Chains A and B, each alone.
Chain A
Amino acid sequence: MSTVLQDAPAWSPQRHVAPQALLFALCLALPPLAIAAAASGAVSIPLSRVAGLLAGVPAGDDQAALWRNVLLEVRLPRIAFALVVGAGLALAGAAMQALFRNPLADPGLIGVSLGGALGAIAAIVLGATALGVIAPAAMVGSLAATALAYRLGSRQAGVAPLLLAGVAINAICAAAIGYFSFRANDTQLRNLTFWNLGSLAGARWDLLAWLSPWVAVLGTLLLRDWRAMNALLLGEREALSLGFALSRLRRRLIVWCALLVGPLVAVTGTIGFVGLVVPHLVRLPTGADHRWLLPNTLLGGAIVLLLADWLARIVALPAELPIGIVTGLAGGPFLLWLLARRGST
């Protein structure tokens, strides 16, 4: 109980904005931002023509044909990817922070991210080149690492053992990644960085076709658990006395987060900081009521990753920055600010 009170300033700060108003604002902001992102990039497309180009282009208009191809083949799948991946990562981050009752938790804590990277990297070094092999390997790695962390960490009561098991599993995964990088040849080494830094450049409609419903289903399952997450906010004993079966709730949240994040890691690599930072961005102005925090985080994550990818695409034209650099550059200082603010209150 005392820790909850101690954490209170940073954990559930004073509300400045009604969460419903934020939800409304985010819903309103998303479409124009997505359209603006669709219009800008290395090939500049007039904003006014985006909708017209999607409908079709007159025969013989080479310029418009290129614009349409860029939109359909490169930019739109990428924007959709950013929205889906950002939403999934941020939501999983919020759920992890609720579960561990720790503002510094993120999906990577229980091994999902590094386990996935390890799976992908092992597959590459053992000779796989096709995404059809590497992505499933990443997913198996994610789930196996999480399952192991959970099994070892849930033998004792409380989340501390789980947290420590996660730290240990992450350390082992990092060491194994190091070993595979050591064994990798030159080409493989370059492919590894794709999974280590994360990238949305592999966006494709066929990947989106199964990724979007997957994220939608698991997102809904997590959103429905807002009451349990609110109860956890009070403390474990309090949640228990409110009638929540803690160990089952814990297992459920972990399984859903792992299933949600595993495939995201499999197709984009490890994109850092979205899962950690976005829930805080939402919680600071609107408070920690998960009924609103979760949908706001989901939309916020989609928008943050959309903006990060937009920046990554346009600051170094005609080249592109790795998105991990953009999210890290925005997320690192934010985390420092969060810590400084926590120290001063």
Chain B
Amino acid sequence: MTCAERSRSRRLPRLLGAALLLAAAAPALAQRVVTLGGAITEIVYALGAGDQLVGTDASSQYPAATAALPKVGYYRDFSIEGVASLRPELVLASDQAGPPNALAQLRQLVPRVVVLPAAPTLEALLQRIDGVAAALGRPVEGTELAARIQDEVKRVARAPAGRRVLFVSSRGGRLEAAGSETAADHMLRLAGASNVMAGERGYKPISGESAAALRPDVIVTTTMSVAARGGLDAFVAQPGIAVTPAGRAKRIVVMDDLLLLGFGPRLPEALRQLQAGITAAP
């Protein structure tokens, strides 16, 4: 056997393999997909694959088209059988999806389960986009989306230095402030603001008195928290909030929950709104 012959005989199976791969990849474009996690669903839509979705979870509320999709429960406690009943070929799940062991069980019922990092950071968002794009067979769109987000995030102006910002949400009637290692804290840092609660870890219940003692210049909160209090005026009038510099000057930035804390493909837009709000809070 000559050298040339040997290389040709090696190349043939490789070509065959490539053809098989292409054949396998072709139906991937017509997949039935179920997503578990709001940010992942947003990425699927941003990649232009929204029409492949046959179901999603309760946290997926953006874009509006998600309202028409069957919901399999909240992604941290989804129904395994509910997912299986939608006959998906691919499930894109947050690594926070549960209950415990549910993803392992799901793998027995669904041809492909791809698990994506849920961390509220820019890096994890880029990994999510990469993972979703690869699973959907849209690597080019994925690279473009990731590059655009990175570029836009870089161009978001930083909030004026030294502005003290407090993030509060209202859960079950009491205030909770965001310490370090929270989605809210990462957003504040990306926007260049200093979180007055950075010394604490996680979301912590906070009394009116401690909110006052932190003397925030600006308070950031979510639409749901304001609605839970019965409007912006009632929110500002809460004891503690009312006596802070932010409360007295009514410098309250209110943003949509999923936009502000979701770490989906709308991150640059969220950062622009947050930064603008902190810089020129009315």
Contact = CB atoms under 8 A, between A and B. Distances in A.
Interface of A: 41-44, 66, 69-70, 73-75, 131, 182-187, 190-191, 193-194, 199, 201-202, 204, 313, 316-320, 322
Interface stretch (B78-86, B154-162, B271-279): B78-86
Interface of B: 55, 58, 70-74, 76-87, 96, 98-102, 105, 108-109, 181-183, 201-205
29 contacts: A41-B81, A43-B81, A44-B85, A66-B84, A70-B81, A70-B84, A73-B108, A74-B80, A74-B105, A74-B109, A182-B204, A182-B205, A186-B203, A187-B96, A191-B76, A194-B98, A199-B99, A201-B99, A313-B81, A318-B55, A318-B70, A318-B81, A318-B82, A319-B72, A319-B74, A319-B78, A319-B82, A320-B81, A322-B77
A220 B79 CA distance: 35
Given A69-B84, A186-B183, 8 more contacts: A44-B85, A70-B81, A131-B101, A185-B202, A204-B101, A313-B81, A318-B72, A320-B82
A301 B86 CA distance: 33
- Residue among A184, A185, A186, A322 with the highest chain B CB neighbour number at 10 A: A186
A312 to B, nearest CB: 10
A319 B109 CA distance: 17
B79 A185 contact: no
Contacts of A183: 202
Contact of A75 (B81, B82, B101, B201): B81
B146 to A, nearest CB: 25
A319 B73 CA distance: 4
B84 A42 contact: yes
Contacts of A43: 81, 84-85
Contacts of A184: 202
B85 A73 contact: no
Given A42-B84, A202-B101, A73 B79 contact: no
Query: Top 4 A-B pairs ranked by shortest CB distance?
Result: A318-B82, A319-B73, A320-B79, A42-B85
Contacts of A320: 73, 77-79, 81-82
Given A313-B81, A318-B71, A73 B109 contact: yes
Contact of B100 (A131, A186, A319): A131
A183 to B, nearest CB: 8
B109 A318 contact: no
Given A131-B101, A204-B101, A319-B71, A190 B96 contact: yes
Contacts of B58: 319
B83 to A, nearest CB: 7
A69 B72 CA distance: 19
Given A186-B203, A190-B76, A74 B87 contact: no
A194 B99 contact: yes
Contacts of B73: 316, 318-320
Given A194-B99, A201-B80, A201-B99, A186 B202 contact: yes
B99 to A, nearest CB: 5
A73 B108 CA distance: 7
Nearest to B96: A187
A161 B120 CA distance: 51
Contacts of A66: 84, 87, 109
Contact of B79 (A186, A204, A319): A319
B79 A313 contact: yes
A330 B23 CA distance: 54
Contacts of B183: 186
Contacts of A74: 80-81, 84, 105, 109
B39 to A, nearest CB: 14
Given A184-B202, A186-B203, A190-B96, A201 B102 contact: yes
- Residue among B74, B79, B83 with the highest chain A CB neighbour number at 10 A: B79
Contact of A318 (B85, B99, B102, B203): B85
B202 A317 contact: no
B203 to A, nearest CB: 6
A186 B182 contact: yes
Contacts of B80: 74, 201
Contacts of A185: 181, 201-203
Nearest to B85: A42
